Structures are given as C-alpha cells and as structure tokens.
Structure 1
C-alpha cells in the first residue's frame, strides 16, 4: 500500500473495527477482541499524537474525569498513540490516568483506522497522527467515527453521541 492510499482510509458506521493487540503502559497486551469479550457494551478507542503535549493532556484528562460515567454506561475507554510504553506509563502516572494507554510505534493500528496520514499542521500539510475517536459496538463494528477532532470539548461530544449528556 502506498503512503497516499494509507492516508485515505476512513472507517464509517457499520464497518468492522480492525482487530489489534498492542502493548499497554503497564506492559500487558491489550486486544480489541478481548476487551469486547470481557463484557463491556462499547469501546471508545481514541488516537492522539503524543503523550504529555498540551492538547493530548487536555483530551486524556477529560476522558479521565468522565470515566466513571462512561464505565457506568458500559463503555471502555482505550487511548492509542505512537509513544513507547515507558512514555505512556510516565504520562499515566503524571496525569493520574486510569484507563489503558496503548503503544503503536509502528503506526499499524493508526493506519488501519485511518488515524495516520496527511493533515494540516499550522498551514502546512504533513504526515502524522490524525486525532480521531471511534465508538465500537459489542459486535465489533464501528458505531461512530470521528476524524480531525479537537481535544477540547471532544469528550462531551462523545457523551452526547452515546446519549449520556
């Protein structure tokens, strides 16, 4: 697959969610199929560019602060970035994050979800992580797909889409 075709992948509601197994900040392996099999009704899978940057910290802390309400509604939150597990552990500890942060240094899962490719960064077109969020139903299909999201206010939007707000 060429770089340009990878950047055009866009998942939509009804598409099968690409399966993955990634290493978490605690060193454990986390797979989508195991999370879905563990009884949660839905998974919110969000992709962010880099731990400990302002926008990513805002978004992660917003998920942290709303985690109780999301979990009560049967939602499991997973965050994915290209950071190493060690950097994710530092981010988790620094911000008191209590949901799994997953490492995708090869960007394979990011590409599978269309969350890596061309994006506009301060007026320049660059290759990078496209801040994206997916709601995955218990059957493993995408229920909602959000691309190019803003860190601030995004969790409220996700909650509205899940009929929680």
Structure 2
C-alpha cells in the first residue's frame, strides 16, 4: 500500500464518463486534490451505496476543489452502465488489467465466491504535486469509508 507522503504511482486507464476516454494521473493533477475511491465491483450492494454516497456529497468535495473518481476492475462499458443506473456524474476508472490495484497494492480475492484480484475498498487522496496525502483501506470489504474523514483530509490541503 502506498503511504501518506509517498509519490502516487502514475497510471493511464480508460475513463468511463458517459463516453470512454483515457485518463493519466499525472495529466490530471490540475484537478487535485484527486479522491480515488477504489471499490471491488459495480452493481453490488455496498459498492453501489458507497458510490452513491460520494455522489450525494460531490458538491462538498467540489467546494474544496477536489475531483472524485471511482476505481474498479470492471470494464469501462460496465462502469458507464453502473454510472447511468446509479445516477453518478463523476468519472470511473477501469482497471481491467489490474495495473492500478497492483501499483497501489490494493488487490484482494473473494475466495469464498471464487472471484480473484479485485480492488480492495480504499480511498486515496492525491495532491497537486502527485503526493498521497490520505489513504484508507477497509479491513473488511463490507465497511465503507468515513466520508467526513475523507472530506476533512481534503479540506486540510488548503
């Protein structure tokens, strides 16, 4: 796992934002702080609730100058369908090749379900210099982040 103060590993991935384009972290630092909300899978109960909660609080993050992105191993096409179905307006990063979850050391298996190598539920905040300024990783994929804590971490960057 990357730690606070580390340089955020750079990556390029498909961005599902109603269309499918490319996203490169180092090219988006002008949108910082960047809130990268990793989640195991689209269309699942806890993940849907988490992403909808970020949507409900999107104005709070926007007022702080932050940009929120969801990150999962789902395809960009599934993520666009998920965005539409859940009424999400922020972009989703598709990590089907698992390069992001590997670089951030956030891969996990749902052995009981026979599903391997999905993203752990985690939140990473990256500042405009490309440094990790906040990181949280769920010990249990059924636990959602403390949204106030994430907001406060973003607010502390001013």
TM-score under structure 1 length normalisation: 0.82
Shift in Å, 1:118: 5.9
Q: After TM superposition, list the pairs within 5 Å mapping 1:64-103 onto structure 2.
A: 64-103=55-94
Structure 2 portions without partners, runs of 5+: none
Distance in 1, Cα, partners of 2:96 & 2:32: 28
- Residue 18 of structure 1 is matched in structure 2 by 9
Shift in Å, 1:143: 0.4
Distance in 1, Cα, partners of 2:143 & 2:102: 20
Taking only aligned residues, the RMSD between alpha carbons, in angstroms, comes to 2.3
> Cα distance 1:127–1:102, how it changes in 2: closer, same or farther (>3 A)?
closer
Whether 1:144 and 2:134 are equivalent positions in the alignment is yes
- The answer as to whether partners of 1:59 and 1:151 remain within 8 angstroms in 2 is no
Structure 2 residue aligned with 1:27, among 17, 20, 27?
20
Structure 1 portions without partners, runs of 5+: 1-9
Whether 1:158 and 2:150 are equivalent positions in the alignment is yes
- The answer as to whether partners of 2:121 and 2:144 remain within 8 angstroms in 1 is no
- The answer as to whether partners of 2:33 and 2:154 remain within 8 angstroms in 1 is no
Shift in Å, 1:111: 0.8
- The answer as to whether partners of 1:59 and 1:154 remain within 8 angstroms in 2 is no
> For this pair of structures, how many residues does the alignment match?
151
- Residue 46 of structure 1 is matched in structure 2 by 37
